[in-house]
Structure 1
Amino acid sequence: MANNNSSYAIAGSIYANYIIESIALIVIMQFSIEISAQLNTDIVGVGYVASGIGFGKIFLMFIGGILSDRFGRKPFIYLGMLSYVIFFIGILFCNNIHVAFVLAIFIGVGNSFLDTGSMPALTECFPCSAGTASVLIKSFISMGTLILPFIVTLFHYYDIWYGYAFIGFTLCLVINALFLAPKKFPSITTVICGNEGNSNYFIGKPNIWFEGILLIVMGFTTTATFVIILQWLPVIAEKGIGMNAIESRQLISYYSTASIISVFITAYVVKKVLKPIYCIIILPLLSAAILIMFLFNLTPTMSLIAAIGMGLTAAGGVLQLTLVVMQQLFPDKKGFAVGTMYTLSGMSFIVIPLIVPKLAITNVSYAILVDLAVALSSAVLGLIVFSRFRKVIDMSKI
């Protein structure tokens, strides 16, 4: 088992990787002007390239988890880091849109390997505070999306080649890999404290083919709600409202700041005020309300409000709370829950870049309308699950 100092060092390395991971997820769209010029394509072509991320995510999430349990966490963290390096360096020399698509797949591959290695490693490093260690991942992911727009703005202002940023990200990964090399990871058989694994709160039998399927679908809808804003709010603000390129990209910084704050608010609310089953209904409804206001008031001020509001409601851990609900309903299928929900979550990174760009070109309001429909779908699915949840679980015991 890793000693306490080693555990903190491993966690620090993992969190640093998540900053780079979140940058990689949106870097194609943030540097879309430079990348589209290099690939001799338009915004739809860049959307096609970005959709490669989702393919890498969904194809390797299952196998990554299985192999991580067999061969340990460290190799898969390194495979994730290597995948990002392949993208960051490879894209600098790429002039073909289809090759760029393949390189984008490596972002998704890196995401899958990093998740399947890092998430278990954190709980094994801190078995008595696994929940806290895991929820902090979300805040470091938000830090990356907060930092990147400032980097893009700086590069645009001084007319610096975007490749230097990609080389910088690569150097961060290399330094982190060297730092992590001597660290000894805890045993993969480490027991997580507080994981009772009992089912004494059941008063009925859950149906995996009904509420189970609905929760899996929510893996897609809860992710797609914030993916549309994360990747396309700058385009909506620039093309539909007339904001300049730099101001529109900085909206993502406001979104990310709100999402960081939301992680801690949501953690407190779930612990002290509301059960997760209520949150997976309320948060999508709040997102829908914000999107309705945005749809009927396309102004720079409302763009800022939408960025902050969606950061607070859509990016504050709705997917993670949906996963908690599924694990409450199906405690003997925790691995299945993670694999299926995160696979559907990954599919949103494929579907959204293929649909939204075409809508945004026709009318940016259509992109907002799609996001509204997705958010409302999450709320409706959550309500149906809630009706079943009350019938099979004693609410006073969870």
Structure 2
Amino acid sequence: MNKKYLPSALIMYLNYFIHGVGCSVLGQAVIKESLAASWGVDAMKITAISAALGLGRLVALPFAGPLSDKLGRRISTAIGSASYAVYLIGLALAFNAGTNGGYMIAYVCAVIGGIANSFLDTGIYPAVNEIFYKYPAVATMGVKFFISISQMLLPFLLGVSIALTANGLPSYNRLFIGCGIGYAILFVLIFLFPLPDQDAKGSGEKEGLIASLKHTRFTLESAAMIIIGFTCTGTFQLWLNCAQNFAVTNAGWADPSIMQTYYSAGTIIA
């Protein structure tokens, strides 16, 4: 590993630190109640906004990966950072819009957030593996570690960011806007530091990923891994979006937000 890439790695990991908030915030019971009150809908309808994140990922994945290989990790990461800023700041604008189209604005912004997630994945995962090429598993787990840290802190961030509107509604716009500004800063920083794939292109070396994909074949084991990825992700999303409501309704928890901290602490320990 070349130490000159360490600032770049930190910038990329910080993208996922904020992503931990962005992908989890709509699953928090207090956020659902706040947004539902502003938009005049049932709190569980906010899960449709969360589903829009998945729709955005599905739309972007087919071309996000090839674009990352063709134009570079920097461009893919920058698109992801910029799109995530739009998503998070858009949630604040949607909250302020209230019943005047707020729900639809949030849905569109969530699709953009899903697109952002795809570009971050296809830019950052290969980039950190190229930076820490001797320890690819550790590099990948570093992404999950930064996500888990931010998710563990999320209930506390909700506590310090809450405010009341003129109508007396609880608002978490400070958190949305703050995270959006954070992504805007990371968008700028990603252009200031070197990345291995750009240096390789500059020295005349060719990317080997596309060529290797031509020889890729699916086996029973690889199919099993894909199925595990689907079911594990599905289970995680179900827990993320519904567990706190379940805790309130079925277990009588007055403040279920701390569940997020317990869950994230478990992932960090593991």
TM-score bracket for this pair, using the shorter chain length: 0.7 to 0.9
Cα offset, 1:6, TM superposition = 2.8
**Of 3, 6, 16, which residue of structure 1 is paired with 2:4?**
6
1:185 paired residue number: 195
Deviations 1:310-366 (A, max 9, x none): xxxxxxxxxxxxxxxxxxxxxxxxxxxxxxxxxxxxxxxxxxxxxxxxxxxxxxxxx
Distance 1:47 1:187 in 2: 38
2:167 paired residue number: none
Cα offset, 1:232, TM superposition = 2.0
Distance 1:110 1:6 in 2: 26
Deviations 1:83-132 (A, max 9, x none): 11111112222242233211111121111000100011111112222221
1:361 paired residue number: none
1:256 paired residue number: 264
**Of 137, 140, 151, which residue of structure 1 is paired with 2:143?**
137
Distance 1:230 1:44 in 2: 13
Q: Does 1:46 align with 2:46?
A: yes
Distance 1:183 1:234 in 2: 40
Structure 2: gaps (5+ residues): 165-169
Q: Does 1:68 align with 2:76?
A: no
**Of 112, 116, 132, which residue of structure 1 is paired with 2:118?**
112
Contact residue 27 and residue 240 of structure 2 kept, 8 A: no
Contact residue 57 and residue 109 of structure 1 kept, 8 A: yes
**Larger radius of gyration between Structure 1 and Structure 2:** 1
Cα offset, 1:230, TM superposition = 2.3
1:263-302 correspondence to structure 2 within 5 Å: none
The 3-state SS of whatever aligns with 2:171 is coil
1:379-394 correspondence to structure 2 within 5 Å: none
Deviations 1:268-305 (A, max 9, x none): xxxxxxxxxxxxxxxxxxxxxxxxxxxxxxxxxxxxxx
Contact residue 28 and residue 35 of structure 1 kept, 8 A: no
Amino acid at match of 1:99: I
Distance 2:140 2:47 in 1: 31
Distance 1:50 1:134 in 2: 24
Task: Name the stretch that deviates more: 89-98 or 133-142.
Answer: 89-98
1:267 paired residue number: none
Pairwise CA RMSD: 2.4
**Of 172, 193, 199, which residue of structure 2 is paired with 1:162?**
172
| Alpha-carbon spacing, 1:84–1:207, altered in 2? closer, same or farther (3 Å) | closer
TM-score by length of 2: 0.82
Structure 1: gaps (5+ residues): 198-205, 263-398
The 3-state SS of whatever aligns with 1:41 is coil
| Alpha-carbon spacing, 1:65–1:207, altered in 2? closer, same or farther (3 Å) | closer
Contact residue 64 and residue 116 of structure 1 kept, 8 A: yes
1:386 paired residue number: none
Cα offset, 1:168, TM superposition = 1.0
| Alpha-carbon spacing, 1:4–1:215, altered in 2? closer, same or farther (3 Å) | closer
2:243 paired residue number: 233
Deviations 1:227-278 (A, max 9, x none): 222222211111111111xx3011110100110111xxxxxxxxxxxxxxxx
| Alpha-carbon spacing, 1:155–1:133, altered in 2? closer, same or farther (3 Å) | same
| Alpha-carbon spacing, 1:239–1:13, altered in 2? closer, same or farther (3 Å) | same
1:128 paired residue number: 134
| Alpha-carbon spacing, 1:240–1:153, altered in 2? closer, same or farther (3 Å) | farther
**Of 29, 32, 35, which residue of structure 1 is paired with 2:27?**
29
Contact residue 237 and residue 248 of structure 1 kept, 8 A: yes
Distance 1:82 1:221 in 2: 30
The 3-state SS of whatever aligns with 2:268 is helix
Q: Which one scores higher on RCO, CA 8 angstroms, separation ≥ 6?
A: 2
Distance 1:130 1:212 in 2: 19
Contact residue 68 and residue 117 of structure 1 kept, 8 A: yes
Distance 2:179 2:225 in 1: 35
Percent identity of paired positions between Structure 1 and Structure 2: 28
TM-score by length of 1: 0.57
